[in-house]
A and B are shown apart, each in its own frame.
Chain A
Amino acid sequence: MTIITGATVDRADPQQRQKLAAELRELLPSHCVLDQLEQLKPFECDALTAIREIPLLVVLPENRDQVQAVMRYAYQNSVSLIPRGAGTGLSGGASPSTDAVLLVLTKLNDILEIDADNRIAIVEPGVRNLAISEAVAGHGLFYAPDPSSQVASSIGGNVAENSGGVHCVKYGLTTHNIRRLRYFDHTGELVTLGASGLDAPGYDLMALMTGSEGMLGVVVEVTVNLLPLPESVVLLQAAFPDMEQAGLGVMNIIAAGIIPAGLEMMDQTAIEVVENYIHMDLPLDAEAILLIELDGTEAEVESQLGSVKAEIGKFGAYDLRLARSAEDRIKLWSGRKSAFPAMGQVTTDFYIMDATVPRRHLPYALRHIVELSDQYSLRVANVFHAGDGNLHPLVLYDASDPGQVERTEKLADDILTLCLSLGGTISGEHGIGQEKLDKSCDQFSTVELEQFERVKRVFDPLGRLNPGKAIPTPHRCAELGGLHVHQGKVPFPELERF
């Protein structure tokens, strides 16, 4: 990824913008089409602020028919579209382009149906993740995937990114928690995937569409599965003198047959920064803090709590804190959850990374990240989902110093390479978007990328949906130069090198 510093320049062709805006205003109410620079500027990036561009045009349709009108128009007039939800994505999956219309779906935000007996809700794509759980709480139900952006992020975006969250170690990702999707294909025709039941005949196209980053269609309706709210929830916080021991504690909780609802970790840098920010008397001598959430029936939770305490006790856990009431849990979670704002106190800029390693390699990966941090003279804090090996290193840097920007990019690249070498992946939950396109060349071979391309062409033969995201072309990978040797073979042997 290349971090962009300084102001964004509007590179769009003013005549093309004017013509498009006029034609789209024939299809949508005038206020739904944004074409003035001051209106477009807020859409110059999603939550990956390091990549910015002024979009050609922004449209905000208010209903499904208007989405269809825009899509049909785009198809007939060879216009590329970039679908966008709330814009909370961290990999630039919705980052705009001077050559494409940004199709923002946040105004489609109705909950269409709640069916408590079947434990489902049918919602429009712009409905916020948390709004679903709030709407169904009265029925004793909730929607399980809870990305940290859940207050703002929309379900359409969650489907596009296959969002996870703190609780996916037990409840899975978006793909495990939805059963029907309706989307507009690249021509603007409505297609329904999935079924009212737990499976549908034919290929599992739901699985393919989920996490496809808006490259295969534009989702306009999602049927989500709901779960009964657990009777009891407890949160246990434990400190460990040593990162190795904390990692073993994580492994042993799982090996003891317990799948916690959440299993989060903070490293020493994160503990220090957070403590200076909210003063909750965190043990500053600890190398790691684990947060373990258990849920279920009261009897189930109490017996699991006993086992967890016994398991982590074997690895030197100390300063145990237990929260039972909702109020106390919020307080105890606040350390973990304030990590990002806390970083803002100690640095002007930070880069949130996302990668995974198998749980057994967590201590090794974290030690190695500390070494890399020293090597590049940049601080790295880790607050992450230990239960599923999903690391979120935060690289602290100063964007006004070009040297630091460059070092940040290299450090981030080294961390991803490290995770790949340990059998992990370059993205656990934030997606590839625009940010990790180049790094994808390290994870996939030419033939694998070509297979992705053929699948993409089935849904979008003209390449007009979210062009240039999520899946790099083999050509792009070849041009990168820095060759990755995959399974002992040089990638793209058929291409010439200069």
Chain B
Amino acid sequence: MSEMVDRDDSQQLVERVEQAREPGGRLTIIGQGSKHFMGCEPQGESLDTTDHCGVIEYEPGDLVLTARSGTPLVQIEQLLAQQGQCLGFEPPRFALNGSAAGTLGGAIASGLSGPRRPWAGAARDFVLGMTMVNGEAQRLHFGGQLIKNVAGFDLPRLIAGSMGTFGLILDISIRVLPVRPAAVTLQHVLPASEALAKMIEWQRQPLPLSGLVYGQGVLSVRLSGTAEGVLSAREIIGGDELNDAASWWDGLRDQTGAWFAEPGAVRRISCAAAAELPEIGGEWVLDWGGAQRWYRGDAPLAMLEAYARKIDGQLSCFRGADRKKPIPLADPRLVEIHGQLKSAFDPHGVFDSGRLLVQPPLAAGLQSSFLSDPAAK
């Protein structure tokens, strides 16, 4: 295990924010840079969090860990593993130079969650409290170390997923979970329609599910629980056991698996799990039991947009396509609220807003303007 560094760099970081309040100052927050590809090209001077690192407090019996934002995820996970615990939402650790990377601050600021999300909850669900620095260089603490806390507005969960546009996260208290004693992954070779039907059926049953994904003609089911619980559930699921399952799920979680390694832009649709299947050529992966759908292929963007609209889903460009366009929101009022909330935290525009830009809804039937299609270029 790499040695964990314990260093409080908060004073320097707050001073940097203070200085950036001068006209023309702008900061873009960066940890290890593993999510550099998300949002618009970063604008402004880099505010590097990696020197602000270390676990401040870890109480296994209270299921809570508090760490500085620059702490590497892999170090936190190693520490938790020593106590038989884990980060329940399986944050992706996108690789840099071939190794799993990412910081705790980056995981929460991006709000991304891995394959266990539908059963364990999302990144924001695990956030219990945080200390942040807003655009006025004020140090603020919200939330606490307990799952139940209804004092004040729930700002920690609002800040989760805000891509650093509200301010800099200094430290985070996060709920951790016990690792279940047993797990098995079972696979079935099935056509997509039958696979989706199975996913719907199993999610309606009280099974110890922790992963449910269909791609390249194979439905993979992960069960996690007590040894007895897993054994009895596998009778219901059937199929062939996958060897070396842990690294296979890591490949999905960290997007290092074979499917993600292929060239081409990756698009994402978030939708209701049972939403009808697309009739769009290209390659699809249905993760989260059907609620997160990855696409790579040549279909015109308008076709994908029409499909997303039809199933009441949300299309976004995840990797590799034109990143410079804002994300359309369903309601112009939401765009207003986004702008005003950003100002409520960061009135001088210190923090790079390009990492999460929004725009009013696209008129139905209009050719897309927000995601140009690299395949069409």
Contact = CB atoms under 8 A, between A and B. Distances in A.
Contacts of A210: 154
B150 A161 contact: yes
B10 interface: no
Nearest to B118: A198
B253 interface: no
Interface stretch (A49-57, A275-283, A294-302, A372-380): A294-302
A440 B274 CA distance: 44
Given A228-B205, A428-B146, A459 B228 contact: no
Given A208-B155, A451-B345, A197 B146 contact: no
Interface residues of A, number: 95
Given A197-B270, A358-B146, A300 B151 contact: no
B124 A204 contact: yes
A428 B153 contact: no
Nearest to A226: B204
Nearest to A304: B226
B178 interface: yes
A191 B151 contact: no
B36 interface: no
A395 interface: no
Contact of B157 (A204, A302, A357): A204
Interface stretch (B58-66, B96-104, B241-249): B58-66
Interface in B317-342: 327-331, 333-334, 337-338, 340-341
B272 A120 contact: yes
Contact of B152 (A117, A176, A231, A432): A432
Nearest to B136: A447
A202 B153 contact: no
A440 B209 CA distance: 40
Contact of A201 (B151, B273, B314, B341): B314
B114 interface: no
A457 interface: yes
A199 B122 contact: yes
Given A208-B158, A424-B146, A448-B141, A201 B327 contact: yes
A203 B148 contact: no
Given A208-B153, A431-B150, A471-B152, A195 B204 contact: no
Contacts of A164: 148
Interface string A421-433: 0011111111110
Interface residues of B, number: 87
Contacts of B337: 191, 203, 205, 458-459
B179 A257 contact: yes
B187 interface: no
Interface stretch (A73-81, A167-175, A335-343): A167-175
B261 to A, nearest CB: 25
A259 B205 CA distance: 20
A118 interface: yes
A373 to B, nearest CB: 23
Interface stretch (B45-53, B73-81, B229-237, B298-306): B229-237
B152 A119 contact: no
B63 to A, nearest CB: 6
Interface in B178-195: 178-181
B319 to A, nearest CB: 16
B275 interface: yes
Contact of B148 (A191, A197, A205, A356): A356
B204 A358 contact: no
Interface in A394-440: 423-432, 436, 440
Nearest to B200: A117
Nearest to B316: A201
A356 B149 contact: yes
Given A205-B337, A255-B60, A440 B272 contact: no
A230 interface: yes
Interface string B140-165: 11101111111111110110111000
A254 to B, nearest CB: 6
Interface in B103-137: 111, 117-118, 121-122, 124-125, 134, 136
A15 interface: no
Contacts of A133: none
A483 B337 CA distance: 35
Nearest to B139: A447
A118 B271 CA distance: 10
B280 interface: no
A231 B204 CA distance: 12
A111 interface: no
Given A208-B154, A448-B140, A360 B61 contact: yes
Contacts of A388: 146-148
A447 B274 contact: no
Q: Of A115, A185, A455, which is in contact with the most chain B CB atoms at under 10 Å from its CB?
A: A455
B125 A432 contact: no
Given A172-B125, A358-B145, A116 B204 contact: yes
Contact of B180 (A172, A257, A299, A358): A257
Given A302-B228, A303-B227, A424-B144, A203 B204 contact: no
B351 interface: no
A175 B134 contact: no
Contact of A211 (B141, B150, B204, B233): B150
A172 B157 CA distance: 14
Interface in A186-202: 189, 191-193, 195-202
Contacts of A251: 61-62
Interface in B250-282: 270-275
Contact of A192 (B59, B134, B233, B330): B330
18 contacts: A117-B204, A162-B150, A173-B147, A197-B314, A201-B316, A202-B358, A204-B111, A204-B160, A228-B206, A231-B206, A257-B84, A257-B180, A296-B206, A299-B233, A300-B225, A303-B226, A425-B149, A458-B341
Interface of A: 115-120, 139-141, 161-162, 164, 168-169, 172-173, 175-176, 185, 189, 191-193, 195-205, 207-208, 210-212, 228-231, 251-252, 254-259, 296-300, 302-304, 356-360, 385, 388-390, 423-432, 436, 440, 443-445, 447-448, 451-452, 454-459, 470-471
Given A257-B179, A303-B227, 18 more contacts: A140-B205, A169-B147, A189-B333, A197-B271, A198-B122, A199-B270, A200-B270, A202-B358, A204-B162, A207-B124, A210-B154, A228-B207, A254-B178, A299-B228, A358-B145, A388-B148, A430-B150, A447-B136
